[in-house]
Amino acid sequence: MSSSGVAEDLKRGLEGLLVQVREDARGGITVEVLPDRLVEAAERLRNLGFDHVKSVTGIDLPSEKRVAVVYHLSSYTNPAYVKVIVALRTAVERSNPQLPSLSKVWLSSHYLERETFDLVGVVFQGHPDLGRILLPDDYEGPPPLRKDVVLKTEGIDA
Amino acid sequence: MMDSIEGFVNVILGLLFTPQIFVPLVYPGLLTAAVMAIVIIWLERKVAAKVQLRYGPLYVTKRMGGVTQLVADLIKFFFAEVIVPRDVDKLPFKLGPALLLTFSLLPVVALPVSGQFEAFRSDATLFLAVALLSVGPIYVIIVGWASNNKFALIGGLREGYLLVCYELPVFISALAMAVLYGSLDLVELVRMQGPGLWGALLNPFAAVSFLVATFMSTSRFPFEIAEAESEIVMGPYTEYSGICYGLCMAYSYIKLYVKSILFALVFLGGWLPTVWPFTLDPTLPGLIVAFKAAAVMLVGVFLRAVYPRYRIDQALQIGWRPLFALSTASLVWSLFMVGVKVGGWV
Amino acid sequence: MTLEVVEKHLELLIGPQHPGSGHMRLVAKLDGDIIVGFDPDVGFVHRAVEKIAETKGYVQIIPLVERPPLVDCVNVNLGYVLALEKLLGVEPPPQASYLRVLAAELNRVASHLYGIAIHAIMIGSSTMFMWPLADREVLLELLQDLSGARVTYSYVIPGGVRRGLPEGFKEKALKAFRYLRRRLRDYDDLFLSNPVTVNRLRGVGVIEMRDAVNLGIVGPNLRASGVPYDVRRAEPYCVYSDLDFEVMTRREGDAYSRLLVRIGEIEQSMKIVEQCLDKNPSGPILHESFLRGLSPKARAYMEQTGRVRFPALFSALKPPQGEVSVRVEAGRGELFFYVVSDGSPTPYRLRMVTPSFRNLAAFRHVMVGNRLADIPAIYGSLDYFPPEADR
């Protein structure tokens, strides 16, 4: 199934949720949704056949004062969707990044959301075990992947 | 003056070679146990290395293949700091390794070197040897508890479970051999294993179960369970360092040595065959027993290169089902053989 | 004074200072010998690869992303460069694609041998620890001939590969594979058919197919639970669609089948490399748009030695604005890259999800109900590599 066929399926399956389904020149499909419709969109996608999350990415956009969170989804069992990766994208306020957790919809997002909380600072409400995973437990300071944390290269500018 | 020096030397030598001093101190006692442990551990590392495409110990006395590697290790252990953690149970912790080694070596007093040379003559030396063997492992549990360390505790408990499991086949196999030859005296047992009547041939069930129980009790792979490194660090000996650690490590090899000598005496014909008049008593018989014991030890240490290790419940299953059944079958077989002999067939 | 006896579960910290734990801490709650609670505590080797990538040029990131998986570098290298090429809109020449697949599959064999060795020492077989690691030497020699390094080769570059196939490589590779096939029979005799191994691993750490899909685990762990998913077949990259190989799948989902899947994949990778060596087309190893910037002397050097001189363009590569996501099948499973570019020489966001991090989800699920001694057996069978998971 071509990716435009998948895009059509997604548009039909996510009707009424105020989503935007985009397909770019390289064939990547993005579903843009608002945070309050995120859980329902996720459940509908899961029922369509997308059964696991490959990645949860937090992208800090200080110029727009937002933090974008992108879930990359795919399927192991549905042969039509095995070939595609759908990006489920949403955005939250940079000063108060709260999102509902999708760990009840997809078990595979458990540790990925925890990593995003740790490194980008997005709080996932309803996550069963939200805590630091990669950084030390007593780390104080802004989340490292925010743009206001500037890495200094030793010997050059530090 | 020369007379008195010669007389003095004679007295010392006479004292040294009296069986009661020679057996526990020199052979098969402390000195030979130490030398055997050194050689066997070196052989273990060399044989495993040969299988694993590498050299093994090489640099200490390179011309002899690194055979004194263990002496170098022992010297290193002597110089390493003995750390006694603050919260351990001090007396058992400190005394434990020494007692372990003592009790593992104690059964040698019951083992004869040859027909005329043993520490004391009794008509129950087999029973004595096997009974003394069962005292040592209790100190493993004590050491595991005294170390105040969860891994040591788990290791000690594993040894406790295994202790009950492997002692039974040893006892029953020894009993089977005693029934077969009609005596509990080791000298008598060896004497009766004349040409072609070795214990292993007459009662292979007992031989196999005794051997497997030996490997189980001395942590030979696949039964290296109490000290399973990838699961519980070093088992009961986790908190030990320096010479105490060396003593703990020596414990299992000394125990293997003692049990191998027992196996050689009971199942492999002891110091036979000696052809009169080349008996050269007691040197040649002693050497023959040592050689047979070394062969058994070599089999035991070679298994390291072959098998992974069992889980504790799997080893216990093996001990309580096939092994126990085998040793009981060996007892029944002994009774049958005795019946056959008494019935006049042999 | 009254004594109160409280029954508690034993909490065992199989911490970073433990022979069987790797660079992580496993917190196990035990009821006697049975595990009732399990929590992996990771992050001990976090090296901030994603953050550092935001300060480095695109070609400088190649050695950066290669370091986490260590024994499996070519596949990660390949994944990142495929993402970069997708952003740039560049297709490598055919010979470069074949060489990429060749190096990637050789590395896969080396990675699986390492995983099998670690698994074996965790259940106590020191011979099976030494043998695969010694046999890795053969592959490291081959890769050294090909790329000049024994580990972390940085072989795949945007537009192609760094070096062409050297003289006599094909004979060496075929000789190496004859040796490795003999050794696979030895492994079978010593370890795979060993009754102790079978007892330790069969039926231990079973992951059902439904749980495998829900937890999102990847690689041989997924295929051993009955899901025939392999990125090389699901979304073929490089020349995998032209190559003939089997996706090794088993149905039992226990530690033993995971081991067997890895052994089977070694054989399949050798088959792929032999096909690459047969089909090897001649031609340039670097895309012409990068060759255009080189001086004639540099180009003559390249013709003569078959080694690439980096064009000056590489030091300031500026892909157009956009975002791409790419997946490859690394040794331990599926590796996912998501690169966001804003038109500057450094990426705006580099997201790298390694297979070991995705396999982390399996720990809590699979350990509960097994025994303490099964922890190393299951850990080794999942082929979890902490530096790769923590990045």
Full DSSP string of A83-111: T--EEEEEEEESSS-EEE--TTT-GGGHH
Torsional sign, CA B301, B303, B304, B310: negative
Rg (CA), chain B: 21
> Under an 8 A CB cutoff, do C127 and B305 touch?
yes
- Per the domain annotation, does C363 fall within a domain? no
- Per the domain annotation, does B223 fall within a domain? yes
Q: Give me the pLDDT at residue B1, please.
A: 61
Q: Measured between alpha carbons, how far is B178 from C281 in angstroms, rounded to an integer?
A: 78
Q: Give me the pLDDT at residue A47, please.
A: 87
Which residue do the tokens 């690869």 mark?
Answer: C49
- Per the domain annotation, does B187 fall within a domain? yes
Q: Measured between alpha carbons, how far is C289 from C319 in angstroms, rounded to an integer?
A: 14
Collect all residues from C whose CB is shorter than 8 A from any CB in A.
Answer: 42-43, 46, 48, 50-52, 54-55, 86, 213-216, 222, 227, 229, 234-235, 322-325, 327, 334, 336, 338, 340, 348-349, 351, 353, 357-358, 360-361, 390-391
Residue numbers in C near A72 (CB within 8 A): 325, 336, 338
Number of domains within chain C? 1
> Under an 8 A CB cutoff, do A55 and C338 touch?
yes
Q: Write the ipTM.
A: 0.92
pLDDT tens per residue across span C359-389: 998 998 899 889 888 899 999 999 899 999 9
Residue C11 has pLDDT above 70, yes or no: yes
Q: Measured between alpha carbons, how far is C170 from C280 in angstroms, rounded to an integer?
A: 10
Length of chain A: 158
Residue numbers in C near A111 (CB within 8 A): 357, 360-361
Residue numbers of the domain that contains B155? 12-342
The set of residues, in sequence order, having a beta carbon less than 8 Å from that of C19 and lying 6+ positions away, is B229, B230, B233
Interface A-C: count of C-beta contacts within 8 A: 91
What is this structure's pTM?
Answer: 0.91
Chains that touch C (3 or more CB pairs under 8 A): A, B
Q: Measured between alpha carbons, how far is C222 from B190 in angstroms, rounded to an integer?
A: 60
The set of residues, in sequence order, having a beta carbon less than 8 Å from that of C242 and lying 6+ positions away, is C279
Backbone angles phi, psi at A103, to 5 degrees: -75, -15
Backbone angles phi, psi at B139, to 5 degrees: -70, -20
Using the Cβ of A135 and the Cβ atoms of chain C, whether some distance falls under 8 Å is answered with: yes
- Per the domain annotation, does B4 fall within a domain? no
The set of residues, in sequence order, having a beta carbon less than 8 Å from that of A29 and lying 6+ positions away, is A3, A6, A7, A10, A21, A22, A23, A84, A85, A86, A87
Residue B74 has pLDDT above 90, yes or no: no
Q: Which of residues 199-228 of C touch B (CB under 8 A)?
A: 199-200
Torsional sign, CA B251, B254, B258, B263: positive
Question: Which of the residue ranges A146-150, B8-12, B80-84, C366-370 would you say has the lowest mean pLDDT?
Answer: B8-12
Backbone angles phi, psi at C318, to 5 degrees: -125, 95
| Domains of chain A as residue ranges with CATH | 3-95 (3.30.460.80)
In DSSP terms, C70 is beta-bridged to none
Q: Are B196 and B174 in contact (CB under 8 A)?
A: no
Burial degree of B64 (CB within 10 A; 0-12, 13-18, 19+): exposed
Number of domains within chain B? 1
Using the Cβ of C26 and the Cβ atoms of chain B, whether some distance falls under 8 Å is answered with: no
Instruction: Assign residue A50 a region (left: φ > 0; alpha: ψ between -120 and 50; beta: otherwise).
Output: beta
- Per the domain annotation, does B7 fall within a domain? no
Residue numbers of the domain that contains C313? 59-355
Residue numbers in B near C131 (CB within 8 A): 52-53
CATH of the domain at C345: 1.10.645.10
Q: Measured between alpha carbons, how far is B45 from B305 in angstroms, rounded to an integer?
A: 9
Using the Cβ of A144 and the Cβ atoms of chain C, whether some distance falls under 8 Å is answered with: yes
From C55, C216, C340, residue closest to A151, measured CB to CB: C55
- Per the domain annotation, does B329 fall within a domain? yes
> Under an 8 A CB cutoff, do B231 and C375 touch?
yes
From C213, C235, C349, residue closest to A57, measured CB to CB: C349
Q: Are C160 and C97 in contact (CB under 8 A)?
A: no
pLDDT tens per residue across span B282-331: 677 788 888 889 999 999 989 888 999 898 889 999 889 999 999 999 99
- Per the domain annotation, does C208 fall within a domain? yes
- Per the domain annotation, does B2 fall within a domain? no
Running DSSP on this structure, what letter comes out for residue C319?
P
Which residue do the tokens 């191994």 mark?
Answer: C197
Mean pLDDT confidence for B181-196? 80
Backbone angles phi, psi at B128, to 5 degrees: -65, -45
Residue numbers in C near B231 (CB within 8 A): 20, 372-373, 375-376
The set of residues, in sequence order, having a beta carbon less than 8 Å from that of A3 and lying 6+ positions away, is A23, A27, A28, A29, A84
SS3 B234: coil
Neighbours of A26 (CB within 10 A): 13
Q: Give me the pLDDT at residue B277, please.
A: 55
Distances (CA, A) of A41 to A2, A20, A21, C165, C214: 22, 11, 12, 50, 18
Q: Are C283 and C291 in contact (CB under 8 A)?
A: no
pLDDT tens per residue across span C90-140: 899 988 999 999 999 999 999 999 999 999 989 888 899 999 999 999 999
- Per the domain annotation, does B1 fall within a domain? no
Distances (CA, A) of A86 to A36, A57, B231, C4, C326: 19, 13, 42, 58, 12
Average pLDDT, whole number, for chain C?
89
Running DSSP on this structure, what letter comes out for residue B322?
I
Residue numbers in C near A78 (CB within 8 A): none
- Per the domain annotation, does C48 fall within a domain? no
Length of chain B: 346
- Per the domain annotation, does B142 fall within a domain? yes
Model confidence band, residue B64 (pLDDT cutoffs 50, 70, 90): confident
Q: Which positions of chain A have pLDDT values less than 70?
A: 1-4, 158
Q: Measured between alpha carbons, how far is B210 from B319 in angstroms, rounded to an integer?
A: 11
Residue numbers in C near B304 (CB within 8 A): 126
